[in-house]
Chains A and B, each alone.
Chain A
Amino acid sequence: SQQGEEDPQALSIQEGENATMNCSYKTSINNLQWYRQNSGRGLVHLILIRSNEREKHSGRLRVTLDTSKKSSSLLITASRAADTASYFCATDARGATNKLIFGTGTLLAVQP
């Protein structure tokens, strides 16, 4: 079964720096989503990129998708302490119902 795998597993940066997280998956997709989770809380949807898109922006977030390499990256620019959270990518599968497969996540710590 396909699975998103995030890299790195953990990332620690200083406030103001950029943070880049990567996600790899195994099978063809309709779209890929990124979610954020604060400790012990539910996931919050950040951005969705479709398989025919290569790049998408939302505020300080930039997501890229390379379907030939089956990979995506999430860039958070000018990070803030409030960005500290776990970030997950989630993929669906072509032809399947609305079943999302989540990766293990990247734990981002932004030091003030």
Chain B
Amino acid sequence: ETGVTQTPRHLVMGMTNKKSLKCEQHLGHNAMYWYKQSAKKPLELMFVYNFKEQTENNSVPSRFSPECPNSSHLFLHLHTLQPEDSALYLCASSQDGLAGGDTQYFGPGTRLTVL
């Protein structure tokens, strides 16, 4: 185990549903990340939080809404998603999000299917 947990592990939702993904890290890290992994595409960085503040939004559509209430927890709120949003969503954390190239620790991911 990497010390980063994600729930749920699998999620199936309709396009009109609202759901949330949860990530928790037990490593005492200060930075947390959301990534999207689609088949045959590179891992896409979505959001970065450092010390609870969002420092990166990689042009993500507003139907994805992140929330970081503290340095240990990260949420991704989902609403009115499209079928092309189906993917594996990965959460990661690192010690210091402001240092160049810090090692990131990943959770197991949430497999999301949008019908």
Contact present for A98 and B107 (CB under 8 Å): no
| In the assembled complex, A44 has its CB within 8 A of some CB on chain B | yes
Q: Across the interface, which residues of B come within 8 angstroms of A95, CB to CB?
A: 100
Query: C-beta contact mask, A84-112 vs B, less than 8 Å → 1, else 0?
Result: 00001001111111111111110000000
Closest to B6 in A: A42
Give Cα distance in the complex from A101 to B4, angstroms: 20
Query: What distance in Å separates the Cβ of B3 from its nearest Cβ neighbour in chain A?
Result: 11
| In the assembled complex, A48 has its CB within 8 A of some CB on chain B | yes
Contact present for A3 and B42 (CB under 8 Å): yes
Say yes or no: A98-B101 contact (C-beta < 8 A), given A42-B4, A43-B106. yes
Give Cα distance in the complex from A29 to B100, angstroms: 9
Contact for B88 among A31, A40, A88, A104, CB less than 8 A: A40
Query: C-beta contact mask, B1-26 vs A, less than 8 Å → 1, else 0?
Result: 01010100000000000000000000
Contact present for A40 and B111 (CB under 8 Å): yes
- Interface SS, A side: loop
Q: Across the interface, which residues of A come within 8 angstroms of B111, CB to CB?
A: 40
Contact present for B100 and A42 (CB under 8 Å): no
Contact present for A99 and B56 (CB under 8 Å): yes
Q: Across the interface, which residues of A come within 8 angstroms of B50, CB to CB?
A: 97-98
Query: C-beta contact mask, B71-115 vs A, less than 8 Å → 1, else 0?
Result: 000000000000000001010101011111111111111010000
Give Cα distance in the complex from A104 to B6, angstroms: 23
Contact present for B2 and A100 (CB under 8 Å): no
Query: What distance in Å separates the Cβ of B78 from its nearest Cβ neighbour in chain A?
Result: 19
